[in-house]
Amino acid sequence: MGKSQVTIKGGSMMKRGSILKLTAALLLIVIAVVFSIQPLTDSERGISLGLDLRGGVHLVLQAEPGPDGAAITADDVEKAKSIIEKRVNEMGLSEPVIQADLDKKRIIVDLAGVQDPDKAVEALKTTAKLTFKDPQGNVVIEGGDLKDARAGQGERSYVVHLTFSPEGAKKFADVTSRNIGQNIGIYLDDQLLQNPQVQAAITNGQAEITGYASLEEAAQYAVLLRSGALPVSLSIEEKRTVGASLGVDSLNKSINAGIVALVFILLFMLVLYRLPGLVANISLIVFTLIVLWALKGFGAVLTLPGIAGILLSIGMAVDLNIIIYERIKEELRLGKSLRASVEAGFSRAFLTVFDSNITTLFAAATLFFLGTSSIKGFAITLGIGIFASLFTAITFTRMLLRWIVGINPRMNTAWFGVKRENDASGKKTGEATPATQAATYEDVKASIPFYFNVVKRRYIWFALSLIMIAVSLGSLFTQKLNLGVDFTGGTMLDMKFSQQVTQEKITQAMESVGLEGPVVQLSDNDTSALIRTSALEEDKRNELLTALQTQVGDFDKESLKEDKVGPSIGQELTRNAFLSLAIAAVLMLVYIGFRFQFAYAVSGILALVHDVIITVGIFSLFQWEIDATFVAAILTIFGYSINDTVVIFDRIRENEPRLKRGDSYEDMVDKSVWQMMGRSIKTVLTVLISLLAIYILGGESTQGFALAMLIGVIAGAYSSVFNASQILVEIKKRMKPKRGGKAARTKA
């Protein structure tokens, strides 16, 4: 009696403790959400938004050798960077990003929120070399002799007041005293600004440059003179401009896509997994908070590809819960208690979850080190998402489920999606369903209404894949890829006109400024135009915009999107794309070979090559344009497709030791594939929900990425089930049997 009382009392205390812990955890989550809204969304102190979400300009400035051909040094680039920083600071912009690439002699500048990108670009690339020359053309004073320059209003025009340093004041006094009645030329970048006549010696160390049409123009030149002359000439190698209104529109579309994806995924998990689904949804809220706070804490800049990375990682985070919950259901079907099933489910799913996410992390790391600035934003959010999903799925979700089970260890397993029958004694019994390890191959076949032998039909799947690969390669060799300016180099203008326009008018306007062979695409009832041409220098670009304004019609400058990519940037992107794929493939090959066997690694990589060729081939077949985000999509497909393959491989590895003498290796693989079939479909569906939301609602900038991912994920789901495991069977079939080893039991 006393023992029973102790048990009841202990159970009551455990129940009370679980209720308190669960209540406290839920309360903390609510508090965290409420107190995170303001800090995360604050326009000044919240998460930093990239150019594509706020509007602004991205520049890659290439240092050019001077007329004397002298080599550019790292010190020259550092000095130029320092001067550009001074000029940017004078603009009053918040959070500018200025980086020097000393190896390539480049300066990368990101200016978010700049109101007039054209003026900002001109201010940054202007050398601003100030010189005073005597009547004989000798340089008598240089910019280094200047102490300050300020804009002001003179008697007849706006002026720039110059104040010389003590040494400069002496030089100026000497020059003016020796040239009374003669002219001294004032030059900026060897262009004559004015040529005033010296009336008397100027000894106060001050001078004026007159003739500016506005105070703003005078102030702009004053900034250039104050910051000093650039030690080298800079050319624009890459330029990307996003109008302010276009950035706001992209942000709103991305938020809408995120909300829709989240709602559908929450409903999907709730319907599919009931109580654990509710727990997964709570964990998803925590996951989102972790990702957003990590972005803020690391000072990462959130871009459109970055938002796509968050939405994709949400789908992948749910995948982890699906893998774990299916394991828990297996344990329940074996007749284990609820508590034992939860513990065993998490323990047995851990390695599968870990392996499948490490491979995706390889892709994210490769993108970070070899991608462009916007792609690095995607890689950062994807990487943070992987770590956050591992934490929430393995630690937080487990903790919540433990507390729930602690409240009622004998709750109906139907809450976990499993129905169990009572035997004659009233004890709950398990059921050998296709998913359980205890199920025999015959159990699996008998329980699936539409069962067919996947492995024995492998040559059909191989033939289908070879046909798709042949069509893809045929298109790649004949039509090739429709490369965007990111790869080919050139200038692309995305413009919105206030009225309907025609291709003929735009082409005529371009030909009037000497531009031949432009590609013009119209959309939005012929009010929007996408114009592609060769890479334009700033003068020619400004001339083109003026011609379009006068000959075609008014366009919205705030929604103007402009990309200019020099040939070297395009070549570099192409080279890095191939290098990224090679590095990711090698990393995955080594890791899977280490964690499984080399046969598994080769099978997985061949399936990945299949997915990539088909994705690239479909883009070639339909001539869809590819840009830098396409590379990110291909690498993510690399990581995600192997994710699903690893889950099936893990079950094969688990079932293989149970083979008995005379058992067929083929049958064991077929059984493993069918045991994982439902799980594979469910995990793919959650990612497809996120990708469809990005594609339909996320705006044009991320549509190419989402489309490539959609094709790749579907191709990956096919290859994981119908190719990877079957290739493994073929490799095992050809392996020399080892005495006493598992290969000896392989039957073909």
Q: Give the tens place of pLDDT for each residue, 340-387.
A: 999 998 988 888 888 878 888 888 888 888 877 777 888 888 899 999
Q: Residue 11's pLDDT band (boundaries 50, 70, 90)?
A: low
Characterise 529 by phi-psi region: left (phi > 0), alpha (psi -120 to 50), beta (else).
beta
Phi and psi torsions of 329, nearest 5°: -65, -35
Among 559, 561, 605, CA closest to 585 = 605
pLDDT at site 2: 46
Chain centre to alpha carbon of residue 606:
25
Q: Residue 202's pLDDT band (boundaries 50, 70, 90)?
A: confident
Q: Which residues contact 181 (CB under 8 A, 6 or more apart)?
A: 197, 198
Label residue 455 exposed, middle or buried (CB < 10 Å: 0-12, 13-18, 19+). buried
- Domain covering 51-126+234-242 assigned CATH 1.10.10.10 in the classification: no
CA distance 217 to 159: 9
pLDDT at site 743: 42
Least confident of 127-131, 324-328, 391-395: 127-131
Q: Which tokens hold the place of 600? A: 């598994």
Residue ranges, comma separated, of all CATH 1.20.1640.10 domains in the chain are 2-46+244-411, 441-478+596-745
pLDDT at site 429: 47
Question: pLDDT of 83-100, one tens digit each?
Answer: 888 888 877 776 778 888
Q: Residue 5's pLDDT band (boundaries 50, 70, 90)?
A: very low
Q: Which CATH class is domain 489-566?
A: alpha beta
For residues 130 and 166, which has the higher predicted lDDT (pLDDT)?
166
CATH level 2 (architecture), domain 2-46+244-411:
Up-down Bundle (1.20)
- The DSSP code for 333 is H
CA distance 547 to 552: 8
Enclosing H/E stretch for 227:
helix 215-227
Residues above pLDDT 90, as percent of the chain: 22
- The DSSP code for 720 is I
**What's the length of the chain?**
748
Residue ranges, comma separated, of all CATH 3.30.1360.200 domains in the chain are 130-229
The alpha carbon dihedral of 295, 300, 303, 309 has a sign of negative
pLDDT, mean of residues 44-69: 80
What would the CATH number be for the domain defined by 130-229?
3.30.1360.200
Q: Which tokens hold the place of 186? A: 């004032």
pLDDT at site 633: 87
- Domain covering 441-478+596-745 assigned CATH 1.20.1640.10 in the classification: yes
pLDDT at site 255: 85
Q: Residue 716's pLDDT band (boundaries 50, 70, 90)?
A: very high
Asked whether residue 453 carries a pLDDT value surpassing 80, the answer given is: yes
pLDDT at site 289: 92
Q: What share of the chain is helix, strand, coil (3-state, %, to 5)?
A: 65, 15, 25
Asked whether residue 424 carries a pLDDT value surpassing 50, the answer given is: no
Highest mean pLDDT, choosing among 178-182, 300-304, 588-592: 178-182
Average pLDDT, the chain: 84
Phi and psi torsions of 566, nearest 5°: -75, 160
pLDDT at site 308: 82
Q: Residue 536's pLDDT band (boundaries 50, 70, 90)?
A: confident
pLDDT, mean of residues 3-20: 64
CB 642 within 8 A of CB 603: no
Q: Residue 4's pLDDT band (boundaries 50, 70, 90)?
A: very low
Enclosing H/E stretch for 282:
helix 244-297
Question: pLDDT of 219-234, one tens digit each?
Answer: 888 888 887 778 888 8
Tokens 């001067």 found at: 83
pLDDT, mean of residues 572-594: 84
Question: pLDDT of 612-669, one tens digit each?
Answer: 999 999 999 999 988 888 888 888 888 788 888 888 998 898 888 888 877 889 999 9
Counting DSSP H helices and E strands in the chain, the numbers are 22, 19
Asked whether residue 7 carries a pLDDT value surpassing 60, the answer given is: no
pLDDT at site 437: 53
Question: pLDDT of 110-163, one tens digit each?
Answer: 888 777 787 888 888 887 788 889 888 888 888 888 888 888 988 888 888 889
CA distance 268 to 286: 18
Residue ranges, comma separated, of all CATH 3.30.70.3220 domains in the chain are 489-566
pLDDT, mean of residues 392-397: 91
Q: Which tokens hold the place of 498? A: 């206030």
Phi and psi torsions of 605, nearest 5°: -65, -40
Q: Residue 431's pLDDT band (boundaries 50, 70, 90)?
A: very low
pLDDT at site 741: 45
pLDDT at site 244: 66
Among 286, 406, 297, CA closest to 342 = 406
pLDDT at site 639: 78
Asked whether residue 271 carries a pLDDT value surpassing 70, the answer given is: yes
pLDDT, mean of residues 269-292: 92
Q: Which residues contact 201 (CB under 8 A, 6 or more apart)?
A: 173, 176, 177, 180
